[in-house]
Chain A
């Protein structure tokens, strides 16, 4: 069964350092999402892509976060510089298309980030 791949699974960094997370969606899925999940809460959308274009990044803290999906397949989420409050699980998801709310999103295993 096709899955969303993410790496690394765990990342420990010191504040003010740069970190990057990678995601490879299910083959053929045009839409890719990055979510942040703080411990004890539900995931919150950071950014979504349709192919290589950003559809919505209104919740992405653009002063320190950036995301790209250059060839419309895999994607990278970067934080620079990392802050203590960035400690969370970063989840990547993909869906077949953008749709109008009906598309099912399939999630990867996530990257657990700890900022010291």
Chain B
């Protein structure tokens, strides 16, 4: 069964600090997809990135970067020079191909990031 673990339940940093959010996953499949979502206080989940299991290249988007390592089953997310607007709960999620279950996302428990001015 698939499982996603975000061991850090809450992180507090001061603005401009770099911060890394950890995500460890478990799956029996060789093909799978990993996602990160941001949930601000307003409640909606905002899609940040999707990565497939065959693409281990790290990705950078502005202040955001992602490090995917299959050897350790991790998909970590780093925010460089954090800002107050980055304060939110961040979720890592996993999806496996399953003809019976369609497109089910399994979410981790989330990491609450608080960025203080």
Contact = CB atoms under 8 A, between A and B. Distances in A.
A31 to B, nearest CB: 6
Interface residues on B, range: 20 to 34
A10 to B, nearest CB: 10
B50 interface: yes
Interface string B33-59: 101010000111111001010000000
B98 A107 contact: no
Contacts of B91: 42-43
Contacts of B45: 43, 91, 93, 107
Contact of B33 (A40, A42, A91, A101): A101
B100 to A, nearest CB: 7
Given A41-B109, A43-B107, A45-B105, A102 B43 contact: no
Contacts of B96: 101
B103 A98 contact: yes
A97 to B, nearest CB: 8
A31 B37 contact: no
Interface residues on A, range: 20 to 34
B43 A95 contact: no
B109 A31 contact: no
Interface string B79-113: 00000000000010101111111111101111000
B99 A110 contact: no
Given A42-B108, A42-B109, A108 B44 contact: yes
A100 interface: yes
Given A43-B107, A107-B45, A109-B42, A102 B101 contact: no
A107 B99 CA distance: 23
Contacts of A45: 104-105
A109 B103 contact: no
Nearest to B94: A101
Interface of A: 31, 33, 40-45, 48, 50, 55-56, 58, 89, 91, 93, 95, 98-110, 112
Given A42-B93, A58-B101, A91-B44, 10 more contacts: A31-B102, A42-B107, A43-B107, A50-B102, A100-B99, A101-B97, A105-B47, A107-B44, A109-B44, A110-B44
